[in-house]
Structure 1
Amino acid sequence: MSAGTRVLVLNAGSSSVKYQLIDMLDGSRPAAGLAERIGEPDGRLVHTPDGKERRERRQVFPDHAAALRAVAEELDADGLGLDSPELVAVGHRVVHGGRRFTEPTLITDEVLAEVRRLVPLAPLHNPANISGIEVARGLRPDLPQVAVFDTAFHATVPEYAARYAIDRAVADEHLVRRYGFHGTSHRYVSQATARLLGRDPAELNVIVLHLGNGASASAVAGGVCVETSMGLTPLEGLVMGTRSGDIDAGVVFHLHRVGGLTVDEIDALLNRRSGLLGLCGDNDMREVLRRSQEGDAAAALAFDAYVHRLRKYLGAYCAVLGRVDAVVFTAGVGENAAPVREAACTGLDALGIAVDPELNAVRSGEPRIISAAHSRVAVAVVPTDEELEIAQQAFTLVQTAVR
């Protein structure tokens, strides 16, 4: 193996750090893991070297710096330390890039300061991303650090679709517009769908449904995102595990004026106690399906509301694109919940969308077509790989910079 082909991908969350070491020569993953419960008394690090049994260690991680030092120790124990000459970059997932960051970006002090300036737009995510960057830079100050932004893929959404119909001066002053999220996943999946169909991405129109605990839809025309369901924050759009998705803004005023809830209480309600959880008390689609199949009325309502919103967006994005070549499901629910896929596509024959029940029922970790023979639109399941996408973007940027 030639030197300089590995990228360490870090995804620092509010209380966790996910990581993968990816070799860009062959796509292998020499190591992966998760440090979680940062700042809590029962911290845990699960580390999995390639081809070996996973290792687990329990210790207190008072902050992200402690967690990343522990990650570095585990990598070093496998001969994969951060000082390895085979490591050419660290790729960081950064949730919000605002309007400035629309491409993978080499991290400098100036870039870090700008990401910090965007914290009000992503107060739960950007601070954690910043912590991961700062610690990684401290551990290997000589190594290129690359930020890959969740919002970047959606920067191509036309201005008329990105603008909210509010006073322009107020919107501009407070950076209010549609940014969209899960962009790394939407980019990867739309391109992987083109490969699955043997088509050039530039000639393909795709609707991507990223359905996890957080969920979003995108309309991708010729490889370019032209519409997406999430907005200023990840709250807008589809019904999610704990988020409401689309809601009349007047509900906020009503809950404040009539219900007496504070802004913070309403924020917590809509982001953490709504969606499937708010409707039936479970945010896990597996439990919602189980309960619904057993006749639980609340779970059945939650499932129906979830699917209804999906179908609304499918129809809307068919109109946005004009011609749809593929509808693709991805992420935890999208890849594994066959009843969700079937219900979302049932009755859409007039739009050329139909699922084959037998193909849809097959469980597989591979990209696959599940559409019926008569369906004009290909319906597919494509597992997402955000870590690989981040690694590819970081590696390409570093290689280009070297040239």
Structure 2
Amino acid sequence: MATVLVINAGSSSIKYQLLDPDSGEVRAKGLVERIGEDSGRVEHTVGADTTTAEDPIGDHAAGLRTVLGLFESVGPDLLEAGLTAVGHRVVQGGPHITEAVIINDEILETIDSVSTLAPLHNPANLAGIKVASELLPDLPQVAVCDTAFFSDLPAAAATYALDRQVATEHGIRRYGFHGTSHEYVSGRAAALLDDQQAKLVVLHLGNGASASAVRAGRPVETSMGLTPVEGLVMGTRTGDIDPAVIFHLHRVTGMGVDELEDLFNKQSGMKGLTGHNDMREVLQLVEDGDEHAAAGLEVYLHRIRKYIGAYAAVLGGLDALVFTAGVGENNPLIRARTVADLQFLGLEVDAQRNEEESSEERIISPEGAGAAVLVIPTNEELAIARQAAALVS
């Protein structure tokens, strides 16, 4: 058996899974959180058993040392598990990293050089890579970038109408994010439909949210842009907004760049509209008659429907709409409300199929619908593991 350890290092956390890339079996998984704070927490799960520990975790190196210690003391033993590679999620690969790559000094420099495009993510990703390289020096380290799937977007989709010289000099273009998820889900959707030429709109709806238009396995549009702020309304991010709002707020309030970035990234979206970024809490407020929550939900749904219509036009038709990620996979009300006014595109859901709780890939549209509606659970860790395994083999 061969396995891959997948690491997703955030600014104050490390998520990890040990997977068999062939079968998809998760041998172990866990989370290190509150890195650098007064009290840290580690969860390490093997099968049905979870080991927890709460102690200060000074930095990513200490966190990953704790994880490797748990593999030794609780299991599974990494040597016996046939560990062949470590796969790292990297948010921004820039224009140069367009596929999974084995990490060397040049790749580290490239990831670091585009950190200005993802200042909340790439530095943490780099920290995870450097620590894993130090603690597991005999294993190939592989970077899989969120932006890679969208690296060959058509120029008309990737290009902003900004002064060309400025855009070229500073690498300003539509990069797209959640690419590992969109690639995995669109591939599974094509397999479920038995149509490798399918025209798909994929909705990755979680706390972060994005849409993509995929034709014959390749993306032709995506909602996130230079950064993950653009596009759909998200848990705490604005999504599409007139960029002149920044100029206006600066002039009338004196807000600086850091304050505006925090406002757009962490205080807006559903949290800004309703007070909550968890869709379950928002829907409970709507049920309780909260007017702000009801209005916020309409903004959220309106933006999604607008993107579906636009992407159907870009694709020249639509074979299927695909829901994935936390909200998309688990919230039948959001799915039903999303397609309620889109019958003209052939989209509708079967009420019984839509309400059934399942963790399986499935079609929730009625027989004979003009376009299929699918729910495909995303699995970014498995996608990263498979890309890493294929590369090192």
TM-score by length of 2: 0.98
Counterpart check, 1:169 vs 2:178: no
Counterpart check, 1:33 vs 2:30: yes
Q: Does the 8 Å CA contact 1:204/1:221 hold for their aligned counterparts?
A: yes
Secondary structure in 2 aligned to 1:54? Answer: strand
1:207 Cα shift?
A: 0.6
Runs of 4 or more off by more than 6 Å in structure 1?
A: none
Secondary structure in 1 aligned to 2:236? Answer: coil
Query: What pairs with 1:67-82 in structure 2 (closer than 5 Å)?
Result: 67-82=63-78
Counterpart check, 1:275 vs 2:272: no
Aligned to 1:378: 372
CA distance in 1, matches of 2:72, 2:184: 30
Match of residue 118, structure 1, among 114, 120, 125: 114
CA distance in 1, matches of 2:72, 2:102: 25
CA distance in 2, matches of 1:17, 1:248: 34
| Bigger mean CA offset, 163-172 vs 83-92 | 83-92
1:262 Cα shift?
A: 1.2
CA distance in 1, matches of 2:209, 2:295: 18
Describe the superposition over 1:187-242 as per-residue Cα deviations: whole angstroms up to 9, x where unpaired.
0000111222233x2x1111100000000000001000110000000000000000
CA distance in 2, matches of 1:283, 1:25: 36
Counterpart check, 1:387 vs 2:381: yes
Aligned to 1:238: 232
Match of residue 131, structure 1, among 107, 127, 141: 127
Describe the superposition over 1:248-281 as per-residue Cα deviations: whole angstroms up to 9, x where unpaired.
0110000001122111111111111100000010
Match of residue 357, structure 2, among 327, 340, 363: 363
**What letter corresponds to residue 146 of structure 1 in structure 2?**
V
Match of residue 61, structure 1, among 57, 72, 82: 57
- Does the C-alpha gap of structure 1 residues 45 and 85 become closer, same or farther in structure 2, counting only changes over 3 Å? closer
Aligned to 2:193: 197
CA distance in 2, matches of 1:120, 1:27: 34
Match of residue 259, structure 1, among 234, 253, 271: 253
Q: Does the 8 Å CA contact 2:103/2:143 hold for their aligned counterparts?
A: yes
Counterpart check, 1:295 vs 2:289: yes
Secondary structure in 1 aligned to 2:172? Answer: coil
Match of residue 41, structure 2, among 39, 44, 47: 44
Unmatched 5+ stretches in structure 2 = none
Q: Does the 8 Å CA contact 2:11/2:124 hold for their aligned counterparts?
A: yes
Unmatched 5+ stretches in structure 1 = none
**What letter corresponds to residue 39 of structure 2 in structure 1?**
D
**What letter corresponds to residue 133 of structure 1 in structure 2?**
I
Q: Does the 8 Å CA contact 2:22/2:386 hold for their aligned counterparts?
A: no
Aligned to 1:249: 243
1:23 Cα shift?
A: 1.4
Q: Does the 8 Å CA contact 2:3/2:81 hold for their aligned counterparts?
A: no
Aligned to 1:354: 348
Secondary structure in 2 aligned to 1:113? Answer: helix
1:83 Cα shift?
A: 4.7
1:27 Cα shift?
A: 2.1
CA distance in 2, matches of 1:398, 1:73: 25
Secondary structure in 1 aligned to 2:151? Answer: helix
Aligned to 2:99: 103
Aligned to 1:284: 278
1:174 Cα shift?
A: 1.0
| Percent of pairs with identical residues | 56
Secondary structure in 2 aligned to 1:329? Answer: strand
CA distance in 2, matches of 1:183, 1:99: 14
Secondary structure in 2 aligned to 1:258? Answer: helix
Match of residue 333, structure 1, among 327, 338, 343: 327
1:52 Cα shift?
A: 3.5
Secondary structure in 2 aligned to 1:76? Answer: helix
CA distance in 2, matches of 1:337, 1:136: 36
CA distance in 2, matches of 1:246, 1:255: 16
TM-score by length of 1: 0.96
Aligned to 2:306: 312
Aligned to 1:17: 14
**What letter corresponds to residue 34 of structure 2 in structure 1?**
R
Aligned to 1:183: 179
Describe the superposition over 1:1-23 as per-residue Cα deviations: whole angstroms up to 9, x where unpaired.
x4xx1100000011100000001
CA distance in 2, matches of 1:47, 1:23: 17
Secondary structure in 2 aligned to 1:340? Answer: helix
Aligned to 2:4: 7
CA distance in 2, matches of 1:73, 1:166: 50
Counterpart check, 1:87 vs 2:83: yes
CA distance in 1, matches of 2:276, 2:213: 29
